[in-house]
Structure 1
Amino acid sequence: MKHTLSVLVEDEAGVLSRIAGLFARRGFNIESLAVGPAEQMGISRITMVVPGDDRIIEQLTKQLYKLINVLKVQNVTEIPCVERELMLMKVNATASTRSEVIELAQIFRARVVDVSEDSLTIEVVGDPGKMVAIVQVLQKFGIREIARTGKISLTRESGVNTEFLKSLEAKLA
């Protein structure tokens, strides 16, 4: 199972390197990693997606807390969250296919951010599932390049679990 960890750290040189080294020494892979300033000056938030069972994640959490600059580690996998990712995708688009590519991008609320004679660069923002879906749909045109930020996540103050609501909606439909 994949787990999403939200880690607050002191914003100092080498913190990310020490965290990555901790994972590497134990043979764990980080599937997604996003780092940026948090709400408080001098603090950064690291959001990472890590494969493993609950026992492994608990062990990694304990190891993270042993690092000096780590302030808080939260496994937000089962907590209602707002999750987003940014992806830029360069897709083949000739004069004959350009309008179809644009229409499909609009279905996903994606934006065309660059145009050339034979390609379009598309910006997609959304949950990681949306990224997978748009890649599958546009694959037939030929994808030249993809750059993704990695997942970022904040817990929902409302506590509303939108995944649960989506599953209820699907059952009622």
Structure 2
Amino acid sequence: MASMLGKKRMSEKKTKVEKKSKLENKKKRKHRLRLGENRREVAAGVVLITGVFFLIVTFILWGISELFEENFIMSEMVGAYCGASMCLCFGLIFTGLIIGTRNWFGKILGLLAAAVFMSVGYSFIETSILLYKDKEAFENKEFEKLVAIPIGAEYDDPDYGTEYLMELKFNDFTIDVCGL
């Protein structure tokens, strides 16, 4: 009987030692990065995945804009949406980095970068909306005609090849012709 009690006490000591080693192992594992335990990291991951989604949308829109090459206005509109999607992609990626980081300097830089990308993306969307408004006038060839003699012209300075006209200067305004 005494030997049975001794065995029972030994098994209790083993279970205490095993429990203690399991607790130590859990403490050691706690230092590993696990997504899902911290809400900030989960939110940052969701925002980053959304940014990557907009990168995929950018490539799709870029391919679609190549299909509309014959229709100038539609090609430029879809190209502007492509640029807006790319800016939204990078804006969301920097927003995700803002959410995910604990470094204040990184947060400030990320905020500045995200603000720049979001404002440029808004500019692309605004350009596309203006192109849509001018679409009917362009298709009906209702152009505003300007009769004037330019007082100056500016050409690009290529390293090789032909020089192209960049802008025409008139008395009241300047026309940028590099995109034409």
Tell me which interval the TM-score lies in, with the shorter structure as reference length. Answer: under 0.3
Of structures 1 and 2, the one with the larger relative CO (CA 8 A, separation 6+) is: 1
TM-score by length of structure 2 reads 0.23
Quick check: which one's helix share is greater?
2
Please tell me whether Structure 1 or Structure 2 has the larger radius of gyration of its CA atoms.
2
TM-score by length of structure 1 reads 0.24
Quick check: which one's strand share is greater?
1
